[in-house]
Amino acid sequence: MLRDIGASSIDDLFAIIPEEYRVKGDLAIPRQMGESEIVDHFKAAAAKNANGYASFLGAGVYRHYRPVIIDTIVQRGEFLTSYTPYQAEITQGTLQAIFEFQTMICELTGMDIANASMYDGSTAAPEAVMMAMRVTGRDGVVVARTVHPEYREVMHTYAQHREVSSGVAAVEVGYGPDGSPHAGRVDLAALEAAVTDETACVLVQSPNFFGVIEDVAAIAEIAHKKGALLVVAVAEAVSLGIVRPPVEADVVIMEAQSFGVAPSFGGPFCGVIAAKEKYVRQMPGRLVGQTTDKQGRRGFVLTLSTREQHIRREKATSNICTNQALVALMATVFMTVYGKEGIKELALHNLAKADYAAKTLGAHGTLLFGRSPRFNEFVLQTEEAPEWMNARLLEQKIIGGVALKRWYPELGNATLWCATELTTREQIDAAAGWWRRLRRLLWCGRKEISPQRTRRAQRTLEWAQEDRKME
């Protein structure tokens, strides 16, 4: 073979790779394991999971109960090992599952069409933005700072090699400060000033990264007045059980992880793009449609696949080459099991838990944006550094909120907390109790307390000493 292709050795095939980047010698790969060793290895890895911990993490990934029937269905060989359903005659089960997924997503979001799924919510965001660019012929984008910071980072990554004058996410609009009429929500005045005749779309998230519900109708009016599309992101899908769907939007993107998909250390998840029917030709990914065969029997087929693997590259809407069919199936089973009333009840449960947690934990800090409507997340601000507090809480098997300083330095020692149906009242009370004790300990550490100080200070010191003895 080497002779026929004109190469003198196998090394000639790698000549294009600079010498300093070539691997020399053996790779540092552990030796192969026996079956019993593999079992032990994964048992040890599983033991690192946070079993028995109370978690208040959210920020785009949420802990919800997963009905056991989900794994029973998705682990069937017909679904677990299936490939892209190109041959409709032998893949009706997979195609129908995708069709049902699309249908339920449309019902939830209030849109006309939904695709078969995207990789996740973060990649759906830039895909929707580029979709808006194709529809409008414009390249300006206005993005709210209340959109998930990592969604915005992915958008910047997508934009790096696109030949557009302004670039994706070039204009970011801030939010109302605490105590203002639009606290924690998009600053509507700033948004109106930022949207121009060159704006392709406005991207907002609701509930946003702070857990606050945006005024989608008002935002849509501002965007549409300038001929721009409105793209609404939904990171917490369960919120649609009680929050009015963003029907004023032109495109809705969503992370469907909350629908029966475990956090799984960050993925894989399931992204969604849904839109008005008139934009169907500009949707990325693929769509499954319903039809009938020669005998008039109901059937399902791949109806639209405007991706570069199927059509000419310059005509493709996206280079996304697949969809999260198996993960989308998890979401489909979840939505089927819960049903319309079940998802509503689940959402109400989340709302009640978060409200109790915000009031209980907020007694030991400042609850930011507390007057704005929210779902199952809230922001707390404290005098103490979040890293110190979270490290101490972790010692008590409590995983605290996400520190916001790296994305929102103006909020100082603020953390984002979440409570779902899996968060118990006992866990909330325990977190609040330990937070109170830690603040006492920290206060005592700051003060020089001596026997000559006031009786009140002495009593506080005694409380702190008692708390140190608690397990």
Q: Where are the domains of the chain?
A: 69-337, 340-469
Q: What is the pLDDT of residue 121?
A: 94
Q: What is the pLDDT of residue 364?
A: 87
Taking 90 as the threshold, does the pLDDT of residue 198 lie above it?
yes
Q: What is the pLDDT of residue 25?
A: 83
Amino acid at residue number 232 = V
Are the C-beta atoms of residues 435 and 389 closer than 8 Å to each other? yes
Q: What is the pLDDT of residues 127-158, one digit of tens each?
A: 999 999 999 999 899 999 999 999 999 998 88
User: Would you state the structure tokens that stand for residue 152, as one six-digit string?
Assistant: 């915005």
Are the C-beta atoms of residues 149 and 209 closer than 8 Å to each other? yes
| 12-16, 186-190, 315-319, 349-353: range with lowest mean pLDDT | 315-319
What is the b/e burial string over 164-197, where b = at least 16 CB atoms within 10 angstroms of the residue's CB?
eebbbbbbbbebbebeeebbbbbbbebbbebbee
Q: Which residue has the tokens 């109400």?
A: 348
Rounded to whole angstroms, the Cα distance separating 343 from 356 reads 20
Q: What is the pLDDT of residue 319?
A: 67
User: Would you state the structure tokens that stand for residue 222, as one six-digit string?
Assistant: 């501002």
Q: What is the pLDDT of residue 454?
A: 40
Three-class SS state of 213: coil
Q: What is the pLDDT of residue 167?
A: 46
Nearest to 232 by CA among 173, 136, 174, 146: 146
Q: What is the pLDDT of residue 179?
A: 85
Q: What is the pLDDT of residues 357-379, one digit of tens each?
A: 999 999 988 999 999 999 999 99
Q: What is the pLDDT of residue 30?
A: 87
Rounded to whole angstroms, the Cα distance separating 241 from 243 reads 6
| Mean pLDDT score, 377-391 | 92
Q: What is the largest CA-CA distance in the chain?
A: 96
Q: What is the pLDDT of residue 384?
A: 86
What is the b/e burial string over 21-32, where b = at least 16 CB atoms within 10 angstroms of the residue's CB?
eeeeeeeeeeee
Q: What is the pLDDT of residue 34?
A: 95
| 22-26, 27-31, 274-278, 457-461: range with lowest mean pLDDT | 457-461
Q: What is the pLDDT of residue 312?
A: 64
- 340-469 folds as Aspartate Aminotransferase, domain 1 (3.90.1150)
Rounded to whole angstroms, the Cα distance separating 68 from 333 reads 10
Taking 50 as the threshold, does the pLDDT of residue 169 lie above it?
no
Name the strand (E) or helix (H) holding 274: strand 271-275
Label each residue of 226-270 as H, E or C: CCCEEEEEECCHHHHHCCCCCCCCCEEEEECCCCCCCCCCCCCCC
Q: Do domains 69-337 and 340-469 have the same CATH topology?
A: no
Q: What percent of the chain has pLDDT over 70?
A: 89
User: Would you state the structure tokens that stand for residue 440, as one six-digit string?
Assistant: 């006492």
Q: What is the pLDDT of residue 443?
A: 67
Q: What is the pLDDT of residues 270-316, one digit of tens each?
A: 999 999 999 998 988 889 999 998 899 999 998 887 655 566 666 76
Q: What is the mean pLDDT of the chain?
A: 88
| Mean pLDDT score, 199-224 | 97
Q: What is the pLDDT of residues 311-342, one digit of tens each?
A: 666 676 776 766 788 999 999 999 999 999 99
Q: What is the pLDDT of residue 209?
A: 98
Phi/psi region, residue 60 (left: phi>0; alpha: psi -120 to 50; beta: rest), is left
Nearest to 84 by CA among 264, 320, 312, 258: 320
Q: What is the pLDDT of residues 390-444, one digit of tens each?
A: 999 999 999 999 999 999 999 999 999 999 999 999 999 999 999 888 877 776 6
Taking 60 as the threshold, does the pLDDT of residue 163 lie above it?
no
| 229-238, 245-254, 278-287, 343-352: range with lowest mean pLDDT | 278-287
The domain over range 69-337 is classified in CATH as 3.40.50.720: no
Q: What is the pLDDT of residue 309?
A: 58
Phi, psi (5° rounding) for residue 414? -105, 145
Q: What percent of the chain has pLDDT over 90?
A: 66
Are the C-beta atoms of residues 396 and 434 closer than 8 Å to each other? yes
Rounded alpha-carbon distances, angstroms, from residue 467 to 364, 393, 437, 470: 16, 14, 6, 5
pTM: 0.86
**DSSP-assigned beta bridge partners for residue 374:** 212
